[in-house]
Amino acid sequence: MKYPPTTIRVDQRDSFALVALRQSRINAAMLDELLSAFAELQGDDSVRSIILTGNGEFFSIGLELKDLSPEQARNFALKSQTLANLIENLGKPVIAAINGVLSGNGCGLALACAWRIASPSAKFAYPKVSSGVITAFGEAIRLPQIIGKARALEFLLTGEPISADEARRIGLVNRVVATPAELMPACEELAKKISHNAPLAIRYAIETVNYGSETSLDNGLQLESSLFGMCFATEDVLEGTKAFLEKRQPMFKGR
C-alpha cells in the first residue's frame, strides 16, 4: 500500500496474504484501507489466496457510526457493499478466520468470503435491529443464499447469538476447528493447498459460481461452457496435462 495502514495489518506469506483487522469496529478509515489492500492483492500474481481475520479476541463487532445523516449513512453502506463485492469477486479465494465475536456488519465481511472457518469459542450475532438499523454490507442478500430465507430472517430479526457449532450446523461456517490454536494453521493449510492449483481456473470457477447463483440455469451454463473453452487457451492447461502425464506437481503461472 502507498501508506502504511493504521486500522489493518497486511502480511504476505509465501503464496498467500494475511489481512488482519486491528480494531473491533469498522469505520471509514478501515473501509478505505481494506479497499486499497484488496485491490492491490487482486493485482499481485504472487498472491494466490487471502486470509482475513481479527486480532484474536474478535473478528469484527460491527460498524462505528456516530451522528451520521441519512445521506452519509447511505454513502457508507454503498462503500461497504463495494468492499464486500470486491472480496467476493476478487478472483482469488478469501478465507475468513473467525477467531472471536462476529457481530453486526462484520458479518458482511465474512459472508463475502469464499470460506468461513471458526474457532470453537467464536460467537455469531446480528443485533442491528435492536439499534434501529439494518444491514449495510449486503448481508440481507447473501445470508439467505447461504443459510436459507427462514434462518436468515431469524438471525437478522431476533439478534440472538449462536455458537460456532450451531453456525456450522446451519451452514454459516464451513468448519469449526477443535481448539483456538488450530484456527490459523487450518486456514494456512487451506491457503497453501489452493496455491498448488491453476490461478486462472480458480478465478473462472469463482466467477461461474458467483454468477450462476444469481442468474438462470441456462445463463449459468453458457458462462461455464465459455470459461471452460477459455481454459484451453492458457499455458496452465498445457502444464497441467504435462504434469499429469509426467506424474509430477504442476508449476502453474496463471497464464
Residues 6+ apart with CB under 8 A from 19: 8, 9, 10, 34, 37, 38, 41, 50, 51, 52, 53
**Bridge partner list, 116:** 96
Residue 106 domain boundaries:
8-195
Q: What is the CATH number of the domain that holds 171?
A: 3.90.226.10
What proportion of the chain, given as a percentage, has pLDDT over 90?
36
Q: How far is the C-alpha of 49 from the C-alpha of 70, rounded, in Å?
A: 36
User: Are 130 and 150 within one domain?
Assistant: yes
Residues 160-187: pLDDT tens digits?
888 999 999 999 999 999 999 999 999 9
User: Are 150 and 205 within one domain?
Assistant: no
Q: Is residue 145 part of a domain?
A: yes
**Which amino acid, one-letter code, is at 175?**
R
The total number of structural domains in the chain stands at: 2
User: Are 153 and 30 within one domain?
Assistant: yes
User: Are 87 and 211 within one domain?
Assistant: no
User: Are 30 and 116 within one domain?
Assistant: yes
> 124 pLDDT exceeds 80?
yes
Among residues 74, 66, 224, 39, the alpha carbon closest in space to that of 131 is found at: 66
Residues 14-56: pLDDT tens digits?
889 999 988 877 888 889 999 999 999 999 988 999 999 987 6
Q: Is residue 3 part of a domain?
A: no
Q: Is residue 118 part of a domain?
A: yes
> 250 pLDDT exceeds 80?
no
